[in-house]
Structure formats: C-alpha cells, structure tokens
C-alpha cells in the first residue's frame, strides 16, 4: 500500500490557491479571523454526498454563530459542482451557500492526504477543522460508504472553542454527558499544592469532584 501524507493536528494549514464555486480563493487567508471546516466528498451526484451537503447547509447558520465557515471539496470540475447544487435546490429546496473547491487535478486532495490509495482518484470523506489562526485543530476521516454526522462536527467546533476560552476539557457527548451533564472537566492537578486547592474548592462548592483528579464545573 502506498503511503499518504496527512497534515497533523497542530500544524499550520498549508497555503493553497483553489478554484471554487465562489471563484478563486486562497486558503487559509480567505477565512482570516474565522474558523473553517473543510470537508471532502467522493463525487458530485452521489446519494450519500447529497445527504451530507443538505445537512451541512441546514446547519450553516449554526456554524456561522460559532464564527465558522464551511468549504467543500471533490475532484470534480466547477461546472459539475454548479449543476449538482442546482439539482439539490430543485429537488429539495435547499440552496448550498458555501463554496465548493473544484480540485479536478487532485492537487489539494493530495496535499491534504484525502486520496485513498485503494479507492482510485476519489477523495475519502475527510474533515479538517481549522481555527481562526490557521491551525488545524481536528481531523476526521470516514470511508466512502458511510456518511458523516454533521451535528457531531458542529459539536466538535463548539467544544474546541469552549476549551480555548475556559481552559477546560469536554466529556463524551458534551453538553449531554451521562455522568456530568453540561459541565466541563477541569484539567487534572499538576502538583500536590494544586491538588489541595482543588480539594478546598470542592469543599466550598466552587467545583464538584468524584476524586481530586476528576473535577468538573458548570460554565
């Protein structure tokens, strides 16, 4: 199996000039000061991809509320993207408002490691979440056979932004976790003194703890 390069979490998003349904764009500069979610799909005019695009568009306003833009990608040409989104509007009454990269030469997909060596030239269902400083914060990969949960991608963006703002960690399925509900997790104490401070804070009711290393609070 041929090796593929995938940028890592924490890397600067590579500088790329792309052709899109909204014209030429330079990434990540086009979204300077904003977060963005770049997601690839195997091909236009395919059922699973169509369901994903409708889901992304229906939640586009929620992404914008988080200062986050969307941009799609496949190895199709611009005219194919345009015809496909026209078809989506005609059939479902959903107008795709975010840009779609026409990576017909596969340069962007190869740069980001989106081409699976055993799946021809089509892109896998990759998701890159990039913050407002142009840093890659999360990478998700799905096979061609299974569609993505757009609500989970939206949740992940919100979780990352919450972590940045409050210096906390987020539990499984936050803000609807089985153990602590909508609370956030306070990072474990890194010293004996900090451990004592956590225990005192718990006694005062400022935070809640199952143990000194598992403390949580509402924000």
Q: What is the CATH number of the domain that holds 59?
A: 3.40.30.10
Q: Which domain covers residue 205, as residue numbers?
A: 167-219
Query: Are 101 and 194 within one domain?
Result: no
SS3 11: coil
How confident is the model at residue 148, as a pLDDT?
Answer: 94
How confident is the model at residue 2, as a pLDDT?
Answer: 46
Model pLDDT for residues 118-163, shown as the tens digit of each residue: 666 678 899 999 999 999 999 999 888 899 999 999 999 999 999 9
The reply to whether 7 falls in a domain is no
Query: Are 87 and 35 within one domain?
Result: yes
Pairing mode of beta strands 184-186, 214-217 = antiparallel
Give dist(CA 157, CA 69) in Å, integer.
11
Query: Are 24 and 108 within one domain?
Result: yes
The reply to whether 139 falls in a domain is yes
How confident is the model at residue 121, as a pLDDT?
Answer: 67
Determine how many CB atoms are found less than 10 A away from the CB of residue 97: 14
For the chain, list residues with pLDDT below 50: 1-2
The reply to whether 159 falls in a domain is no
SS3 50: helix
CB–CB of 70/37 below 8 Å? yes
The reply to whether 9 falls in a domain is no
Query: Are 30 and 116 within one domain?
Result: yes
How confident is the model at residue 123, as a pLDDT?
Answer: 81
The reply to whether 3 falls in a domain is no
* CATH number assigned to the domain comprising residue 212: 3.30.1020.10
The reply to whether 219 falls in a domain is yes
The reply to whether 6 falls in a domain is no
Determine if the pTM surpasses 0.85. yes
Query: Are 189 and 139 within one domain?
Result: no
Could you give the maximum distance between any two Cα atoms of the chain, in Å? 64
Q: Where on the phi/psi map is residue 45: left (φ > 0), alpha (ψ -120 to 50), or beta?
A: left
Query: Are 142 and 171 within one domain?
Result: no
Residue 78 class from Cβ within 10 Å (0-12 exposed, 13-18 middle, 19+ buried)? middle
Query: Are 217 and 128 within one domain?
Result: no
Query: Are 174 and 141 within one domain?
Result: no
Query: Are 138 and 49 within one domain?
Result: yes
Give dist(CA 198, CA 215) in Å, integer.
8
- Listed residue (44, 63, 65) closest to 55, CA to CA: 63
Query: Are 128 and 218 within one domain?
Result: no
Active site residues: 49
Identify the sign of the CA torsion 100, 101, 106, 108. Answer: negative
Query: Are 131 and 195 within one domain?
Result: no
The reply to whether 160 falls in a domain is no
Query: Are 23 and 125 within one domain?
Result: yes
How confident is the model at residue 191, as a pLDDT?
Answer: 94
How confident is the model at residue 58, as a pLDDT?
Answer: 98
Q: What's the domain count of the chain?
A: 2
């Amino acid at each position: 199996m041929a090796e593929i390069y995938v940028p890592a979490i924490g890397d600067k998003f590579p500088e790329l000039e792309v052709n899109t349904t909204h014209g030429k764009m330079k990434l990540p500069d086009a979204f300077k000061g904003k977060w963005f979610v770049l997601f690839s799909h195997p091909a236009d005019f395919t059922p699973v991809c169509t369901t994903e695009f409708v889901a992304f568009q229906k939640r586009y306003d929620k992404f914008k509320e988080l200062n986050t833009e969307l941009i799609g990608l496949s190895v199709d040409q611009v005219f194919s993207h345009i015809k496909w989104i026209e078809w989506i509007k005609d059939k479902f009454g959903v107008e795709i408002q975010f840009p779609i990269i026409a990576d017909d030469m596969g340069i962007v997909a190869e740069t980001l490691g989106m081409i699976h060596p055993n799946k021809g030239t089509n892109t896998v269902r990759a998701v890159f979440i990039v913050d407002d400083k142009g840093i890659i914060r999360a990478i998700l990969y799905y096979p061609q056979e299974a569609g993505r949960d757009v609500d989970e991608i939206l949740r992940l963006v919100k979780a990352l932004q919450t972590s940045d703002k409050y210096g906390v960690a987020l539990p499984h399925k936050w803000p609807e976790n089985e153990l602590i509900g909508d609370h956030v997790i306070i990072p474990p104490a890194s010293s004996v003194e900090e451990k004592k401070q956590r225990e005192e804070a718990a006694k005062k009711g400022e935070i809640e703890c199952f143990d000194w290393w598992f403390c949580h609070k509402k924000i």
